[in-house]
Amino acid sequence: MVAHKDRDTLRARQHQRGNSALEFLAGAVPVLLLGFGAVETIHWYSVRGVLDHALLQTARAASTLHANPETITQVFTQSLRPLHPADRHTHRPSLLTRTVSQIEEKTGRAAWEIRIASPDANAFAVHADTALGRSQPNGYPVINNHYQYEQHTRSQALHNTTGTDQSIYQANTLTLELTYLKQPLLRGVSQLLKIFGQRNGNYSQHALSHGYLPIKARISVIMQTHPVLWPLPDTGYIQRAGEAPKGNKNKQGMQDSLCTGLWCTRGQPQASPPLPPKPAEYPGHGEGAYWPEWGSHANYPQSNPVTPAPGTTPDGHSLPAGHLAPPGTPAGDPACGVTLCCF
């Protein structure tokens, strides 16, 4: 009788072999997935912190150089280098270029996109200053950064804006919206992202369809110079609200520039900030008004090193009345041609 019971117990134990392994797998798989998800999320948040800082540096530089797309591209490219640290055998710019090239070859689009949400294209149609546009070296539409209260009051009195138009204050606020493509650390996450993508969709949907996570950031800063409606490059990096999207990324659009930021290695030469295009004639000749940028860099010859008085050019020519102020402003106003930057 005892031997019979032992045989039954042994047979029952044999039937239960492997159950512990199945129970372990059932509990371990969700725990491992949660752990992988936590690692991926922490990585995304660390990248987001670098992108926020890079976008802030880009907006600060662009606000002092008329929101020039070339400035936006150059400064943001330099600020991306902390995401691609180099070792002893790898040069950091080459590593950054290689990473960007891999993303663009796989997706067929730019590795990142900055959209100028403000001022948009319609803001230049509503608030462009014709006098400033004529004085600008290339004749691009310009929004006056001075006397914004007077411009706002006059605009309300003339009823020349609608509820959908940006006010003069919004038009003098630089708002940048960033979408940066990040490859996940785990291949499984990339395959999961492809489910939510769409090949013929917008920029973010197209990136998801290729397994890249579009990380978004947004920032707004007050313009310190007159916003200019610059033509956008065909690289695809910079877009503007109210304009048709630019084409695919041009491989020559992103070149490694000299490093001038906090994250740069020691011993590299300092790069001068980009200048607006040089006019056909130095300011002070012809119809154009004096732009301070041409006298602030030694790269361009100056006909008169003496600081011009308000309302005059470096060679003593008088500027048209109200060239930096709304119509109706006295020509002798001491605030003409002065931008106050408050921090």
The Cβ of residue 239 has, within 10 Å, a number of other Cβ atoms equal to 20
**What is the per-residue pLDDT for 130?**
86
Q: Residue 41 is encoded by which pair of tokens?
A: 């999320």
pLDDT digits (tens, 9 = 90+) for 194-230: 999 888 889 999 999 999 999 999 999 999 999 999 9
When the pLDDT of each residue in the chain is averaged and rounded to a whole number, the result is: 74
Question: HSE-up of 247 (CA within 13 Å, CB side)?
Answer: 5
**What is the per-residue pLDDT for 314?**
44
280 phi/psi in degrees, rounded to 5 = -65, -35
Contact in structure between 118 and 219 (CB atoms under 8 Å): no
* pLDDT band at residue 310 using 50, 70 and 90 as cut-offs: very low
pLDDT digits (tens, 9 = 90+) for 185-200: 888 888 889 999 888 8
pLDDT digits (tens, 9 = 90+) for 311-340: 444 445 544 444 444 444 445 444 444 444
For residues 55 and 134, the model is more confident at 55
Please check the confidence at residue 48 and state whether its pLDDT lies above 50.
yes
How would you classify the pairing of strands 213-222 and 238-240?
unpaired
* pLDDT band at residue 248 using 50, 70 and 90 as cut-offs: low
d(CA 215, CA 289): 42
**What is the per-residue pLDDT for 282?**
34
Cα end-to-end distance, the chain, whole Å = 95
**What is the per-residue pLDDT for 305?**
40
Please check the confidence at residue 256 and state whether its pLDDT lies above 70.
no
**What is the per-residue pLDDT for 13?**
58
As a whole number, mean pLDDT of residues 244-249 equals: 70
pTM: 0.65
As a whole number, mean pLDDT of residues 113-134 equals: 90
Alpha-carbon 27 to chain mean position: 44
Q: Where are the domains of the chain?
A: 33-255, 284-325
